[in-house]
Chain A
């Protein structure tokens, strides 16, 4: 008979394809891995509101403004939903935010790049959300129940985001010379960072081993990256965007595209805090969190007062 609190029993449940739920036994390493990955995901949603928010007030049509607002609202909602999912693992949102602000927790490095022209909003939707979807579709089958269910819900909205991003790029490529130049400029800046979103090559990814064994991660970084590349290059070509890589080609035998080597030096530099906007993104988050402290205190004080009043009248 299995001991329900043993790692062997846990692993056999994983191997049988069962979902692990919040109250189930799980090894400490599994819990830690999930907290790290899920909170990083939540933080990414929230920090990602900044580069897109940078363009709401300048969105060039009322329709574009509404779509962008709705999209950013979705991202914030995903953040909220994911924070709740992490809380099932015994960490509060306040602790998670502190980890973000002290640099203990990371967010996706992609948001350390600036959104410089309107086509960047297209590129973020199409490439960044496009890359995120490939990863998240895979995570729908992740072994932790609350995370898996969050992914199912999030994927539905992300595919809408990806489509609206591609629509912006398409419109701009059909537009004036200036618009085409903006779209290509955005493509040039976002292409490589979006490929880096999948993380280091499998051979250099220290955490992949356990995550695969525990079925938190169902496919490897390189497998997911290849899926994204194969899906995205034809989309770029269809609307006349140039892939900013002179060496990319389709391998007729495998049906996969091959590219020049990724600049991992840049990846590590941005991850370690030296991207164009790392400081700006964190400073922004901290500034508004601090400025909101008196509001949160007031809400808390009011809640206590009204609870007392209810006690008296009850």
Chain B
């Protein structure tokens, strides 16, 4: 494995996270509980697609086969996708969406704060832009967690259920495989394992204020680093890639 190969994989993983979450949040367009929220979620989706574009473009450069970011996004099969399982989970009700946003945005805030120090200049620059957006995403998720947790009996129940249902996908956020370790030694990648305690305490702080509780320890699902996903990803890709696959010679 060369640094270039490893960095390609790393950029793909980060790009896929942004792309697939952007897709999930886009599904909510015109389906928000109020118009303001429709705009807020679309806004997060827009940030995500922008981030995906930057990361997949970088991956395409590293790959060096003359592909574009669109080739990478639209012509890869499920097994070559490496987004976290958490991200591809369906939106569910609004509490479910917010639970996913909370788990992820707190993680991303910690992650990109570290990635900003990466020796890879491109990743560091993308991280630096991303961190500004993620602060907003995290605040948005926290605000809604408080409102739903400490709102009505029904909203409390739904929020707790969202948190419980998704908790088993959070372990994966902190996994380190040989690519991560290799790049960590070169000061390119983030040591995600070291973020776990901080993540847990941040989440607990928010949940306590929201009168919610951190779900009990459970078996943590895993697989995305090897390209093994939940059944959801195939459906996302068949929708997302439809035009590119149906008209392979067309330029859009």
B31 within 8 A of A: yes
Residues in A52-87 with C-beta less than 8 Å from chain B: 53, 56-58, 60-66, 69-70, 72-73, 76-77, 79-80, 83
Give chain A nearest CB distance to B211 CB in angstroms. 10
Q: Once the chains bind, are B239 and A58 in contact (CB under 8 Å)? A: yes
Please report the total number of A residues contacting B with Cβ < 8 Å. Answer: 43
Give chain B nearest CB distance to A20 CB in angstroms. 27
Among B43, B148, B250, find the residue whose CB has the most chain A CB atoms closer than 10 A: B250
A-B interface pairs (CB < 8 A), number: 130
B27 within 8 A of A: yes
Identify which of B23, B151, B244 contacts A57 (C-beta below 8 A). B23
B177 within 8 A of A: no
Contact stretch, chosen from A102-110, A134-142, A153-161, A291-299: A291-299
Q: For residue B148, which residue of chain A has the nearest CB? A: A298
Give chain B nearest CB distance to A93 CB in angstroms. 8
CA distance A293 to B151 in the complex (A): 13
Query: When A76-B42, A297-B152 are in contact, do A53 and B29 touch as well, CB less than 8 Å?
Result: yes
Q: Mark B27-59, 1 if CB is under 8 A from A, else 0.
A: 101111111111100110110011011001000
Q: Once the chains bind, are B35 and A66 in contact (CB under 8 Å)? A: no
Identify which of B27, B36, B150, B247 contacts A179 (C-beta below 8 A). B247
Query: When A58-B242, A80-B39, A294-B158 are in contact, do A70 and B33 touch as well, CB less than 8 Å?
Result: no
Q: Once the chains bind, are A73 and B34 in contact (CB under 8 Å)? A: no
Q: Once the chains bind, are A302 and B151 in contact (CB under 8 Å)? A: yes
B77 within 8 A of A: no
Give chain A nearest CB distance to B98 CB in angstroms. 9
Q: For residue A93, which residue of chain B has the nearest CB? A: B35
Q: Once the chains bind, are A302 and B146 in contact (CB under 8 Å)? A: yes
CA distance A120 to B237 in the complex (A): 22
Query: When A60-B244, A294-B158, A297-B152 are in contact, do A66 and B50 touch as well, CB less than 8 Å?
Result: yes
CA distance A124 to B148 in the complex (A): 37
B174 within 8 A of A: no
Q: Mark B126-161, 1 if CB is under 8 A from A, else 0.
A: 000000000000000000001110111011001000
Give chain B nearest CB distance to A228 CB in angstroms. 27
Q: Mark B238-252, 1 if CB is under 8 A from A, else 0.
A: 011011100101111
Q: Once the chains bind, are B46 and A175 in contact (CB under 8 Å)? A: no
Residues in A157-190 with C-beta less than 8 Å from chain B: 171, 175-176, 178-179
Q: Once the chains bind, are B239 and A57 in contact (CB under 8 Å)? A: yes
CA distance A175 to B23 in the complex (A): 26
Give chain A nearest CB distance to B25 CB in angstroms. 9
Q: Which of chain B's residues have a CB closer than 8 A to the CB of A302?
A: 146-147, 150-151
Q: Once the chains bind, are A72 and B53 in contact (CB under 8 Å)? A: no
B182 within 8 A of A: no
Q: Once the chains bind, are A80 and B36 in contact (CB under 8 Å)? A: yes
Identify which of B31, B74, B150 contacts A305 (C-beta below 8 A). B150
B9 within 8 A of A: no
Query: When A57-B23, A298-B154, A299-B151 are in contact, do A66 and B243 touch as well, CB less than 8 Å?
Result: no
Please report the total number of B residues contacting A with Cβ < 8 Å. Answer: 50
Main SS class of interface, B:
helix
Q: Once the chains bind, are B152 and A288 in contact (CB under 8 Å)? A: no
CA distance A102 to B35 in the complex (A): 18
CA distance A300 to B23 in the complex (A): 30
Q: Once the chains bind, are B150 and A295 in contact (CB under 8 Å)? A: no
Q: Which of chain B's residues have a CB closer than 8 A to the CB of A293?
A: 33
Q: Once the chains bind, are B29 and A56 in contact (CB under 8 Å)? A: yes
A301 within 8 A of B: yes
Q: Mark A284-314, 1 if CB is under 8 A from B, else 0.
A: 1000100111111111011001000000000
Q: Mark B179-217, 1 if CB is under 8 A from A, else 0.
A: 000000000000000000000000000000000000000
Q: Which of chain A's residues have a CB closer than 8 A to the CB of B88?
A: none
Q: For residue B239, which residue of chain A has the nearest CB? A: A57
Q: Once the chains bind, are B45 and A69 in contact (CB under 8 Å)? A: yes
CA distance A176 to B248 in the complex (A): 10
CA distance A30 to B53 in the complex (A): 49
Give chain B nearest CB distance to A147 CB in angstroms. 19
Residues in B109-140 with C-beta less than 8 Å from chain A: none
Q: Which of chain B's residues have a CB closer than 8 A to the CB of A73?
A: 39, 42-43, 46
Q: Once the chains bind, are B250 and A76 in contact (CB under 8 Å)? A: no
Instruction: Give me the 8 closest cross-chain CB pairs, A-B, nearest first.
Output: A292-B33, A298-B151, A298-B155, A295-B33, A60-B252, A60-B243, A53-B29, A302-B147
Q: Which residues of B are interface residues toward A (Cβ below 8 A)?
A: 19, 22-23, 26-27, 29-39, 42-43, 45-46, 49-50, 52-53, 56, 69-70, 73-74, 93-94, 146-148, 150-152, 154-155, 158, 239-240, 242-244, 247, 249-252
Q: Which residues of A are interface residues toward B (Cβ below 8 A)?
A: 46, 49-50, 53, 56-58, 60-66, 69-70, 72-73, 76-77, 79-80, 83, 118, 171, 175-176, 178-179, 284, 288, 291-299, 301-302, 305
15 inter-chain pairs at a CB distance below 8 angstroms, sorted by A residue, are: A56-B26, A58-B243, A62-B19, A62-B53, A66-B50, A69-B49, A72-B29, A76-B39, A77-B39, A79-B35, A118-B243, A291-B93, A292-B33, A295-B155, A296-B34
